Chain A
Amino acid sequence: MPQGLNVWEQVICEFPGHYARDGEQCGRKFPGPDEHVNRFDGPAWNVPKIYFADHDPIEGGSVEGRLVRMNWAIAEGDKAEAYGLFLGLARDPANRQRLKDAILFAGITDLQDTIINRGGYQNIGHKALRARALIDIADYLGWDNAHELFYTVVPDLACSPRLYGLWTEISNICRMEFPEHASIPKRSDKPLTERELDILTEAIVWGGPFDVNAAIMGFFKRGAGILDVGDAVIACFQRYLIDVLEHPNAFLHPTHALDYMNVVQSWTRHHDNPHQVKAVFMGARFMNDTIRSNANFPRDPTFTLEPRQNHRVWADGIAIGRLLPVLKEHVLAQDAPRSCALVDSYLERTNERHDLLDTITYAACHWQNDPHVMRNCASSLEEFRHNRTSRRDDIVRGFVKHQARYVKRAPTHDCYQVYVDYFKPANA
């Protein structure tokens, strides 16, 4: 079990990680604070217990029938049946492409309709992220070497809470408005116009759930493709990161929605599934809901950020060839206004993007104890690479704002230092 992934024992203070440390404040609970060691940042405090034993593969019956049974078992919370069927299907390489599609479908459709005043009873995209991680890592390791990974991910998909309210709503909307939604193309020759991007931005950042539904419905009705709209959702969401977010803690939920949308886009890019158009609605609704959830709290003026424009003249005065090392230092200093001004300046002065993204990512990877930092890197890099909207550079602007402002779980860079000691990178 990878460190930090044992969330369930973290919430009862029996395993370290950020749920235990930050959410549950376990350091203040039994057996009492330890002045010298933060037990919930360190190695495992208790040996993990086994609550769900490993299972044998379930075989027999048609592949189609087993895939359907597996998805029903996940939806009904039957971990043993879902896991056994997965193991049986995974044995035959010929089944794996359909199995990947099915496991992504299961992760993406299980998403809360709102996090507003819901506390911990939410999925917040984690099931989709884990399904995607299973596929990427199993492909890397080889599926015959990935049994422990399957054990970590597949039963979890069938754990509570399992929430299908949003999926039900979007499925009904699509049935009523687009009887032929399964035939909507992935790409069209009608990507979103500037005006349509403005409408979508307004709906996601400032509107309500039905504004989001109406905007997206309009784009599909006039012939836009699934990835055309998905790209626009990713790009328009960045305005929230760029213009609105200030409090370091407030980045957490909205960027979960960005990471979820990245899984949706990846699913659409690599698989064919008649339900993919619904997932675009779900991603946009998730983004809008997290933004509304943040807005449901009065804004704390002590976390006000200085406008990035205040530093633009300074940024423009730095030679383009010297700018990236300066950017790295300001990201590491968590100076969002200057970091954002540097990126604005760079984007306007050159078409170079690879080294810029590399610099932000390398700076971000100095931080430890929080996989959300690296997940945001992965989502931003991948979506920038594929995005075809005119506002693709906004992904870089949102990326640097996140990495220069989002709350950091640990102030030290011990893991990075180990990397420097062993690999001695030139830019350390």
Chain B
Amino acid sequence: MSNEQATLIESWRVRNAAATTLALTEEQMRRAVRDASIEELVTLIETFAPARSAGPEWTRTFEPLVERLWTWRDDETIATLAEVFRSRGMPWMAVTNALAPERGVLTRTTLRQPASARLPAFTLV
């Protein structure tokens, strides 16, 4: 076995460990999102406003979060969230649009994976 092959196996092992960690994290997140109240979800989404954001690295995770909201919560909850942000006007238009029903249909369709996949095709970063 050459050094290159050993490195390849090691790399795949590390990748698998990272995937396992990520899958467990997603499961914890799924339970947290499922159990959250409307107020708690609003508070989470508010952290993506430019003045409150911890920075671009945080705000870039908005779309991955929206994918998970559409996957793990029902239409009624999302519609309630959308109304909260629609009532706040233009600065929250991007958030309101991300929570519009047609986005939900599109998101849920594109996230479908083959049966062999453990998770939907979520955006990671």
Which positions in A face B, CB cutoff 8 Å? 116-117, 208, 291-293, 295-302
Contact = CB atoms under 8 A, between A and B. Distances in A.
A325 B3 CA distance: 55
B56 A298 contact: no
Q: Which 6 A-B pairs have the closest CB atoms?
A: A295-B56, A300-B94, A292-B56, A298-B62, A298-B94, A302-B97
A296 B97 contact: no
13 contacts: A117-B51, A208-B57, A293-B56, A296-B50, A296-B53, A296-B55, A298-B63, A298-B95, A298-B98, A299-B94, A300-B93, A301-B63, A302-B97
B59 interface: yes
Given A117-B50, A296-B50, A301 B97 contact: yes
A243 to B, nearest CB: 14
Contacts of A291: 56
A200 B92 CA distance: 33
Contacts of A300: 93-94, 97-98
B15 interface: no
Contacts of A295: 56, 59-60
A248 to B, nearest CB: 14
Identify whether the interface residues of B are mostly helix, strand, loop, or mixed.
Answer: helix
Given A292-B55, A293-B56, 13 more contacts: A295-B56, A295-B59, A296-B56, A298-B62, A298-B63, A298-B95, A299-B98, A300-B94, A300-B97, A300-B98, A301-B94, A302-B97, A302-B100
A34 to B, nearest CB: 23
B49 to A, nearest CB: 8
B108 interface: no
B55 to A, nearest CB: 7
Contacts of B59: 295-298
Contacts of A117: 50-51
A299 B94 CA distance: 6
A301 B56 CA distance: 17
Interface in B13-58: 48, 50-51, 53, 55-57
Interface centre among B51, B55, B62, B94 (most CB of A within 10 A): B94
Nearest to A288: B56
Interface in B82-116: 93-95, 97-98, 100, 103
A116 B95 CA distance: 19
Given A117-B50, A117-B51, A297 B94 contact: yes
